[in-house]
A and B are shown apart, each in its own frame.
Chain A
Amino acid sequence: MISISGKRRSAGNRVWTLVMLIALALCVLPLADILWVIALRGVPAIKLDLFVTSTSGVAGGLANAITGTLLIVCAAVALAAPIGILGALFVSELADRRTAALIRYAADTLTGVPSIVLGYVCYVALVVTLGWGFSLLAAAIVLMLMMLPYILRTADLAMQRIPVELRQASYALGATRSETAFGVVLGASLPGIVTGVLVAISISVGETAPLIYTAGWSNYMPTGKLFHSPVGYLTYVIWTFINEPFDSAHQLAYAAALILIVLVLIINVLGRLTMRRRD
């Protein structure tokens, strides 16, 4: 593998460096192009009006969609975060090895379920069978199902990285297992937990298929009702309006795409800042 001739070796080195550079370019350029295209068509479409008017048919503003997205995601986090964090505490600190392994395995599998399957299941179970109709709660639950395993696993891992000495010190002081868990481990792993939650939010903000079957769509601001009240959301605008042959529709679609990307960017930046603090 390592040849003798010096010249050939350094030429080989240069060739591979070039190859890697090209690969990186192939990575970065299309991605930069996406951002560029969205920015190019989205920025002119952003007007102050957009944030206070709702959609109306294929025109109008994005107020209802933005509020809807935020509301659904907030509701989903409110459900997923406590369950995920306390569940992670159980798996990492309080459970025996077999139970912990089972729950971890279930979480990993759940992350692999395609979102359309989750959306369909919630449609059948919640929207139709339970009779909730298109509703905020059904949408929140389907997003919760997507977020929960991520939050649980990342919190679990964050807790596992806490050095064992910390726990030992707590036990030495006479604390019980759950006192150690809540009092010491939870606090120490908080930045990792927060990062995990932010990641889960970033993922769910961009979902479309599951929301089509649970939130439905509404041209009006969300009423806050949990049942029988369809809610609008940004990804719907992108998905539907881009096909409508009207300029107003296209503008809204690109504006929505831009807002979504900015939102995801903000969340990611927040995630990095929290991570940095850990060390």
Chain B
Amino acid sequence: MRFRIIRDSLSRYACGFLAASVPLFLAAVLLIVVASAWPAIMFNGWHFLYTLPWSVGNEYGSATMTVNGFLAPKGAEYGMLVFFVGTLLTSLIALIIAVPVSIAAALFLSEVAPRRIAGPLGTLVELLAGVPSVVFGLWGIEVVAPAVKNSIGPVLSHLFGFIPAFRGPVGTGVGLLSSGIVLAIMIIPIITAVSRDVIENLPDEVRHQGYALGATRSEVIGAIILPYARNGIIGAVTLGLGRALGETMAVLMVSGSALNYLPGNIYSPVGTMAANIVALLDSAMIDPTGMAVHALAELALVLFILTFIVNALVPIVAGGVVRISSMLPTAAEFGGHRE
């Protein structure tokens, strides 16, 4: 008996030790990012959050400047505005496209489609959530960017040219719109799968009440299902948003990598935070003072905080229920990653 008690305690401690690794890893990651970013935080001050230029300064000159006790090459100036705006705009466009499409598709699959079709179709959508992001980027270069340049762009600027954002020139095809479209296609499977899950888990009685009163299907959907599923759908959208914000490779391939200017219209090249960390990291290592690398770490920190805020909003906005049901090993899991 005593042996079993000792074994019980040991097991508990062993498992606890392993479980504790998760918060420890998280803390370690955060610590390393903050420590890397600290010199840049001190050097840039609050400017970082709202200035436009991103310049590593004169790397090959010997002149340096010291701000707040931290060294950087002369002329170095770091502002994240371009990347922050780029990240927000691309994600916004992705949401504008993805949310209506995903919700409508989820409704179709759970309410309208006969079971024989809904099953395979739903599976198809979910399976595609597992496609690697470089493959999406590939498709983006091959299909989306030319489409934006040759058909979608001209059509949009023709029809909606009175709105400044849609006015030409349509430009080169890579840019804000292409990135938004590619991101939308990437997050549609997640939002669809989770929304569908939420909608299907609504108690049948609610629907039956509606039909019993003589409502048509779309009336039931509009007046009953959507309001009930609202929180869950918001949670689904937040999951998709989280992925869009942190997406790196696919955006890098179709964004056009803008530097030092904000997009003038939706066809303009953009830069996003995640994509530019990858793009600028190696050149940053040439800076002899190291400030360029610290600045990128600061950018990574901002990205970290942004995704943290978005993820923290989910339980608050959706009342905690969705997070758990969305983590069920069903559809949702097959698309939660972000690269």
Contacts and interface: CB of A to CB of B under 8 A. Distances in A.
Contact of A157 (B28, B121, B329): B329
Contacts of B230: none
A70 B173 CA distance: 36
Nearest to A10: B216
Given A17-B217, A206-B134, A27 B278 contact: no
B109 A24 contact: yes
Contact of B29 (A17, A102, A118): A118
Given A23-B100, A37-B143, A239-B249, A110 B278 contact: no
Interface string A141-153: 0000110111011
Nearest to A176: B8
Contacts of A199: 329, 333-334
Given A20-B112, A87-B22, A109-B308, A115 B338 contact: yes
Contact of A206 (B127, B141, B339): B339
Nearest to B103: A23
A231 B282 CA distance: 19
B323 interface: yes
A26 interface: yes
B130 A264 contact: yes
Contact of B23 (A32, A103, A235): A103
A24 B132 contact: no
A33 B22 contact: no
B333 A208 contact: no
Interface stretch (B12-20, B41-49, B73-81, B159-167): B12-20
B318 interface: no
Given A117-B29, A179-B8, A238-B138, A86 B329 contact: no
Contacts of B142: 37
Contact of B338 (A22, A114, A213, A267): A114
Contacts of B72: none
Interface stretch (A43-51, A53-61, A218-226, A253-261): A253-261
B67 to A, nearest CB: 23
A152 B24 CA distance: 14
Contact of A38 (B135, B311, B334): B135
Nearest to B113: A24
Which has the most chain B C-beta neighbours within 10 Å: A82, A110, A239?
A239
Interface in A233-279: 235, 238-239, 242, 253-254, 257, 260-261, 264-265, 267-268, 271-272, 275
Nearest to B140: A34
Contacts of A120: 33, 277, 281, 296-297, 300
18 contacts: A2-B215, A23-B102, A23-B108, A83-B18, A107-B22, A113-B304, A116-B278, A117-B304, A124-B32, A145-B29, A154-B333, A157-B329, A181-B15, A203-B336, A206-B135, A209-B278, A239-B249, A257-B138
Given A31-B131, A113-B26, A206-B131, 13 more contacts: A2-B213, A9-B219, A37-B143, A86-B15, A87-B15, A94-B16, A114-B248, A114-B304, A116-B339, A176-B4, A179-B4, A239-B134, A261-B135
Interface of A: 1-2, 9-10, 12-13, 15-17, 19-24, 26-28, 30-35, 37-38, 82-83, 86-91, 94-95, 99, 102-103, 106-118, 120-121, 124-125, 145-146, 148-150, 152-154, 157-158, 176-179, 181-182, 192, 195-196, 199, 202-203, 205-210, 212-213, 235, 238-239, 242, 253-254, 257, 260-261, 264-265, 267-268, 271-272, 275
Interface of B: 4-5, 7-8, 11-12, 14-16, 18-23, 25-26, 28-29, 32-33, 36, 100-105, 107-109, 112, 121, 123-128, 130-139, 141-143, 185, 188-189, 192, 213, 215-219, 221-223, 242, 245-246, 248-249, 274, 277-278, 281, 296-297, 300, 303-304, 307-308, 310-311, 323-324, 327-330, 333-334, 336-339
